[in-house]
Amino acid sequence: MLAVAGLSVAFPAGTAVRGVSFTLAAGERLGIAGESGSGKSLLALSILGMAPPAARVQGSIRLGGAEVVGAGEPALRALRGRVAAMVFQEPLSALNPLIRIGEAIAEPLRLRRGLTARAARDRAVALLGEVGLPDPAAKARQYPHELSGGQRQRALIALALAQDPQLLIADEPTTALDAAVAARILGLLAELSARRGMALVLISHDLGAIARVTGRLLVMYGGDVVEDGPTAAVLADPRHPYTRGLIAARPRLDAARPPGTPLPAIPGAVPPLPALSAGCRFADRCALARPGCAVPPPPVAVAPGRVAACWAVAP
Amino acid sequence: MKRRPVNLIFGAALVALVTGAALLSLVWTPHDPVALNVANRFAPASATHWLGTDQLGRDVASMLMAGARTSVAVAFVAVVLGALAGVVLGLTAAALGGLVDDAIMRLADFGFAFPALLFAIMLAAVFGPSLTNAVIAIAFVNVPTFARVARAAAHQVWTRGYVLAARAAGRGRLAITLDHVIPNIAAPVIVQATIEFAIGILAEAALSYLGLGVQPPVPSWGRMLAEAQTLLFLAPHLAIWPGLCIMAAVMGFNLLGDGLRDAADPRLARAR
């Protein structure tokens, strides 16, 4: 239902997403991992045709049978919310503080679906129940500040589900939440996806979250997809040096690491846009870098259903 | 310790006094404010004429009350018209951005550069001096201010997460403006309206003083001042009272605006 092909998003300062391709079947759950600045969020916004005005988007994004790249605002608005909806990172700022939760969900239903005020309100309460809020009728009458962080994120998910999208994009949905609440929200997302047959794109820098919820994983670095494959296989046997670094850098309680030793880390940071190289963008932080890395590595099949873009792993 | 909002209380009291007098004058004044009684001119303050009478024997207290009505009415209509036009322009600029934004803001710059009094004189010269033209002139100079305040506040709202979420839900610019932007810019616009009200009262007084505003016999503080000018040494109270009224009204609305701003933004109050 979603097919991204050769997608590039360029700013005057540089190319932030470079030649990304993937497809997503109905009901499939995809994780996108990578550190800040890897282009994950921009990719997500681009799927809804919401890249910043300064960005030049090239390639193709087919969403529910319609082309997003180059589409006009009315066509995009018809897709947003109905075909694909999005849940954002900050559950407090993503809700208007002046609008009650129930109204926030009911309003678009009335205006876009033509529901009566009563039907829209009932639907809002039903949605709040579906996302697991206790006493949804009472919650519908409350303002965002009266809810806890986890409850606000549930309310936001209800808002995104209101128009029964076929695809839900969750951009770092648990970053602002504590671990226990985050785990429950992730469980909810997986459950909703399964129950509704709704495709899910989970964007996160937390590989644990992605492992819990998704069946397939894209690892992004500097605007490139560096590795793509079944989540379990990629995490168990990472091929790209960046994926290996990400997995090694995860803090783990069970790891045999003597107290006081620092966590393993990938040296350096994602360079700013203008400084990203034209070749392999990870080369300057990579232990396996070689002169050939000045040429961008093509995606290579490394195992059945698995692709990595690295000169060092080419079979 | 919580600081008392002195500005707010004092300003609100002055505003209540002025608008109360204006409202009361609709139904009752001590005397008919336009009744002449030449035999009893320049009367000193007394039980019948609280603030004395002027050169034509009119009761000064009654004229001041009726003048308050003129001032408040002119300022109110001018601020409402100016705010409506300005906020619509500001919201449009913020919602559409780009060339539209630039065009509207350059237009606002032009409006700022154009002296209000000059515009009023022009209107008076073309259409004749009248209350309506005074209102139009004052409203016109309000538009750019409101446009800027609304645009700045709306720009901030457009960067909020809930606007992004609304866009992701497929809502259009108009729906987002109505649902999310307007409620969230209400506070700065109301504060600005209160301050513009003070400026409106001052502008009405100035225009009437110059003879470009309210025409006789409708009482106006500005015209009372103008008429008292030549009699300043003979009857100073004729100039002092309307002067005090203008000052009280302007100060009242300014203090109220300041107080409301502090109340709307607690950070500002603490920073002082």
Q: What is the pLDDT of residue A7?
A: 93
Q: What is the pLDDT of residue B128?
A: 81
CB pairs under 8 A between A and B: 70
| Cβ–Cβ < 8 Å for A8, A15 | yes
Stretch A205-209: mean pLDDT: 87
* DSSP letter assigned to residue A170: E
Distances in Å between the Cα of A225 and the Cα atoms of A19, A296, A307, B113 are 8, 12, 9, 54
Contact B184 A96 (CB under 8 A): yes
Task: Decide if pLDDT at A164 tops 70.
Answer: yes
Q: What is the pLDDT of residue B2?
A: 57
Quick: pLDDT tens for A52-83. 888 899 999 999 889 999 888 889 999 998 99
To the nearest whole Å, the CA of A105 is away from the closest chain B CA by: 10
Most A CBs within 10 Å: which of B96, B99, B158, B162, as the mutation test of the A interface?
A: B162
Q: What would the two tokens of residue B209 be? A: 């003083």
Dist CA B271 CA A75 (whole Å): 48
Q: What is the pLDDT of residue A22?
A: 92
Stretch A165-181: mean pLDDT: 89
To the nearest whole Å, the CA of A1 is away from the closest chain B CA by: 18
Q: What is the pLDDT of residue A191?
A: 93
Stretch A286-311: mean pLDDT: 86
Q: What is the pLDDT of residue B266?
A: 60
Sign of CA dihedral A227, A228, A229, A232: positive
Q: What would the two tokens of residue A231 be? A: 């989540």
**Domains in chain A: boundaries:** 1-26+35-83+218-251+263-315
E strands, chain B, in order: none
Burial of A36 from C-beta contacts in 10 A (0-12 / 13-18 / 19+): exposed
**Pairing assessment for the beta strands A199-204 and A167-171 based on DSSP bridges:** parallel
Dist CA A205 CA A209 (whole Å): 9
| Cβ–Cβ < 8 Å for A149, A176 | yes
Domains of chain B, earliest start first: 6-18+53-267 (1.10.3720.10)
Q: Is the peptide bond before B217 cis (omega within 30 degrees of 0)?
A: yes
Distances in Å between the Cα of A284 and the Cα atoms of A241, A266, A267, A314, B72 are 12, 11, 9, 19, 70
Burial of B72 from C-beta contacts in 10 A (0-12 / 13-18 / 19+): buried
B167 contacts in chain A (CB < 8 Å): 50, 80
Task: Decide if pLDDT at A216 tops 90.
Answer: yes
**Listed residue (A106, A84, A91) closest to A152, CA to CA:** A91
Count of alpha carbons within 13 angstroms of residue B31, beta-carbon side: 22
Q: What is the pLDDT of residue B1?
A: 45
Please identify every stretch of chain B with a pLDDT value under 50, giving residue numbers as ranges.
1, 269, 271-272
Task: Give the count of beta carbons closer than 10 Å to the beta carbon of residue A72.
Answer: 8
Summary mean pLDDT of chain A? 88
Q: What is the pLDDT of residue A315?
A: 57
Quick: pLDDT tens for A40-52. 889 999 999 998 8
To the nearest whole Å, the CA of B186 is away from the closest chain A CA by: 11
Task: Decide if pLDDT at A128 tops 90.
Answer: yes
A1-26+35-83+218-251+263-315 folds as Rossmann fold (3.40.50)
Contact B169 A53 (CB under 8 A): no
Q: What is the pLDDT of residue B272?
A: 44
Stretch A117-140: mean pLDDT: 93
Amino acid at A142: Q
A81 contacts in chain B (CB < 8 Å): 168-171
